[in-house]
Amino acid sequence: MSSGVAVDLEDIWIRFGDFVAVKEANVAIKGGDFFSFLGPSGCGKTTILRAVSGFLDPSQGQIRIGGKDMSGIGPNKRPTALIFQNLALFPLMKVWENISFSMEVTGASAKQRRKRADELLDMIALDGQGDKLPSELSGGQKQRVAIARALCANPDVLLLDEPLSALDLKLRQHMRTELREIQQRVGITFIYITHDQGEALTMSDNVAVMKAGVIDQIDTGHNIYDHPATPFVASFVGENNVFRGRVKEIKGNEALISTNRSGDLLSSISPSQVGKLAVGDDAMMFIRPEALQLGPAKKSSKTTISANVINEEFEGNSFSVFLEGDGGKSVKMSVPNGGQDKISDRGEVLSLHYNANNAVAMPAGELASE
């Protein structure tokens, strides 16, 4: 098995006429990494992947695979294999012919091809189904055939374009672990595209979050979740409560933000934004629902928010309490289910405490639309 090779995107711009689909993308993907592009629909994820696999040339910039410049090299000459968003299995070929197509074009004998296809069918737990047509497989099975077909080409880099989006929840979760296992087994570089943040966080070593053609942040899943760099990332990845305000004071990597509703609140500054936030700037502060805790009323504290309860929902492992927040938006608090009947009553005023380390402040910006 090949140990994966690195993929570098250097200052990539991709334009369709006047429309800029990808803007100034700089990405360094390590060999053997499971790397995800995460972003809402239409943000340019597929476009980046097509540029990497060679189906379109970036308008500007350089793509290197294993250190080698890929400009002018066609998709059939690149060491990549792409799993298409719609799978693109060949409908007129049997499953085993589909899988071994990459060997057929190099002139391998039918016997060799069949042998390799059977090995791969074994690996994807579809042994004995080689003689079916793709139309006779279930969605998850097609998925696995597409993966096997791509792996059969022995690529150095496997590109996956939302391969799980068509599957139902259970199967999707199952396939996540399966994909991760396959990646660890074959050890090649995976570049994975998704608009599902759960998928990106569970599977990836590193994630790039995109918004309308721009890459906002590249980091580990952990850091993306805990230290989002932009309001978009903070609101797109996971649930978050946003507080708008003005910077009143800055102390090291902490800022005091005066909000309309909750008074002055203390927050850490997102590591990448330290130094970019100045006193008097419009700022946004984010606190995760699970970082809020019930506590006694302490009016003076800079890490306390008091608000009226709007309603409460029981979610099994936790309670979600919604309180009145800024500008018509509610503040959500998540309380683990410890056996209590309920957390609060409607209209009750609660005091919510948080640790300033768990709050992130950054310059104000665009939020992900719900």
The footprint of ligand ATP (CB under 6 A) covers: 16, 19, 21, 39, 41-47, 85, 195
Nearest to 219 by CA among 37, 21, 9, 4: 37
Does the protein bind other proteins through residue 153 (CB under 8 A)? yes
Residue 38's φ and ψ, nearest 5 degrees, are -120, 135
CB atoms within 10 A of CB 97: 19
Whole-number minimum distance, CB 56 to ligand ATP, in Å?
8
Does the protein bind other proteins through residue 142 (CB under 8 A)? no
CB of 6 or CB of 56, closer to ligand ATP: 56
How far apart (Å, rounded) are the C-alpha atoms in residues 49 and 35? 12
CB of 4 or CB of 213, closer to ligand ATP: 213
What string marks each residue from 6 to 35 as x (binds Mg ion by CB under 5 A) or -?
------------------------------
What string marks each residue from 37 to 76 as x (binds other proteins by CB under 8 A) or -?
----------------x-x------------------xxx
Whole-number minimum distance, CB 319 to Mg ion, in Å?
37
CB of 19 or CB of 341, closer to ligand ATP: 19
Whole-number minimum distance, CB 162 to Mg ion, in Å?
6
**Max intra-chain CA distance, the chain:** 79
CB of 47 or CB of 270, closer to Mg ion: 47
In the chain, what are the helix, strand and coil shares in percent, each to the nearest 5? 25, 35, 35
CB of 46 or CB of 230, closer to Mg ion: 46
* CB-nearest residue to ligand ATP: 46
Nearest to 48 by CA among 138, 142, 200, 162: 162
Cα–Cα separations (whole angstroms), residue 242 to 157, 169, 219, 222, 253: 38, 29, 22, 20, 19
How far apart (Å, rounded) are the C-alpha atoms in residues 350 and 284? 22
- Of Mg ion, other proteins, ligand ATP, none, which one sits near residue 177, judging by CB under 5 to 8 A according to partner kind? none
- Sort 243 into a burial class: Cβ within 10 Å, 0-12 / 13-18 / 19+: buried
Whole-number minimum distance, CB 101 to other proteins, in Å?
5
Q: Tokens standing for 265?
A: 């609140």
- Of ligand ATP, Mg ion, other proteins, none, which one sits near residue 81, judging by CB under 5 to 8 A according to partner kind? other proteins
How far apart (Å, rounded) are the C-alpha atoms in residues 265 and 257? 5
Amino acid at 133: L
CB of 126 or CB of 284, closer to other proteins: 126
Q: Which stretch binds other proteins (CB under 8 A): 9-17, 87-95, 183-191, 242-250?
A: 87-95
Cβ atoms of residues 356 and 270 within 8 Å: no
Whole-number minimum distance, CB 37 to ligand ATP, in Å?
8
Does the protein bind other proteins through residue 108 (CB under 8 A)? no
Q: At what angle do helices 169-186 and 139-152 cross, to 10 degrees?
A: 20
Whole-number minimum distance, CB 243 to other proteins, in Å?
45
Does the protein bind other proteins through residue 110 (CB under 8 A)? no
- Of other proteins, ligand ATP, Mg ion, none, which one sits near residue 106, judging by CB under 5 to 8 A according to partner kind? other proteins
Does the protein bind Mg ion through residue 47 (CB under 5 A)? no
Cα–Cα separations (whole angstroms), residue 228 to 86, 139, 154, 186, 219: 31, 35, 36, 31, 9
Does the protein bind other proteins through residue 226 (CB under 8 A)? no
**Which phi-psi region, left, alpha or beta, contains residue 101 (left: φ > 0; alpha: ψ -120 to 50)?**
alpha
**Cα 274 from chain centre:** 24
**Chosen residue from 36, 46, 197, 344 binding Mg ion by CB under 5 A:** 46
Does the protein bind other proteins through residue 92 (CB under 8 A)? yes
Give the binding site for other proteins (CB under 8 A).
Answer: 53, 55, 74-76, 80-82, 84, 86, 88-92, 101-102, 104-106, 136, 149-150, 153
